[in-house]
Amino acid sequence: MGKHEVAIFLDRDGTLIRDFNDIVRPAQVRILRNTAPGLALLRKAGFLLVVVSNQPVVGKGLITRRGVEKLHALLNARLAKRGAHIDAFYFCPHRHWDNCACRKPKLGLVRQAAKKYGINLRRSFFIGDDMRDVETGRRGKIKTILVRTGKGGRDKRFYNVKPDLVARDLLDAARIITKHL
C-alpha cells in the first residue's frame, strides 16, 4: 500500500457482527445484515479496511490471542463468500484496568495501522456502534460515523462526544462516505 492511504477503521462487535457479551466460539460470529455489501462498496471506492477492536476476552482467559485470530480468519472467510474482505485486524487483548496504550479509545492500534500502511488519518473514517469508537476517532482526528447497530451509541454516559455522522448500518455508512467522494 502506498503512502497517505485512506482507510476505514471499523469496530468489530456490533458493527460488523452481532454483539454478544464474550465472543469466543465460531458459532457466535454472526455477520450483521448489510455488512458485506457495505464493505464491498467501500472496497470498490478504494478504501483500506481495518478492524480495530477491544477483545478483553483474552485478558479474562476465555480465549487466546490465537483463538481471536482464528475468529478473524473465519469472519474474513465468511465475508469472502459474500464478496467482501477486511485488509487488517488489530485488537487489544487487555481489560480496561490494565491501562494499556492499545485499548480504545487510546490510539495505539490506530497508530500501528497508520504506520504500517501509511494511512492519512485526517482523510480516513472510523465507523463503530458505540461512543468509545467515536472518542477514538476524535482523538485521532478521524471523521466518525456512529452506526445504529449493536450498542447504537447507548454508552453516552462514558464518553461525552458527538459523531460526525450517524448511519443505520454499515451499508448506510458506506453510501454516505462514497456519495461525498
- CATH label of the domain that carries residue 43: 3.40.50.1000
Q: What is the CA radius of gyration of the chain?
A: 15
Task: Give the three cell numbers for residue 123.
Answer: 482523510
- For the segment 112-130, the average pLDDT, to the nearest whole number, is 97
- pTM listed for this prediction: 0.95
Q: Is residue 2 part of a domain?
A: no
Q: Is residue 142 part of a domain?
A: yes
Q: Is residue 176 part of a domain?
A: no
Q: Is residue 179 part of a domain?
A: no
Domain count, the chain: 1
Query: How many whole angstroms separate alpha carbon 49 and alpha carbon 34?
Result: 16
Percentage, residues of the chain above pLDDT 70:
97
Q: Which domain holds residue 104?
A: 7-158
49-61 residue pLDDT tens: 999 999 999 999 9
One-letter amino acid for residue 157 of the chain:
R
Q: Is residue 89 part of a domain?
A: yes
63-111 residue pLDDT tens: 999 999 999 999 999 999 999 999 999 999 999 899 999 999 999 999 9
**Cβ–Cβ under 8 Å, residues 56 and 94:** yes
Confidence (pLDDT) at 117: 97
Task: Give the three cell numbers for residue 33.
Answer: 445484515
Q: Is residue 164 part of a domain?
A: no
Query: How many whole angstroms separate alpha carbon 107 and alpha carbon 1?
Result: 21
Query: How many whole angstroms separate alpha carbon 85 and alpha carbon 39?
Result: 7
Confidence (pLDDT) at 62: 97
Phi and psi at residue 161, in whole multiples of 5°? Answer: -135, 160
Confidence (pLDDT) at 2: 47
Residue 1: pLDDT band with limits 50, 70, 90: very low
* pLDDT above 90: residue 37: yes
Q: Is residue 1 part of a domain?
A: no
Closest CA to 35 of 69, 82, 89, 72: 82
Please identify every residue annotated as catalytic.
11, 13
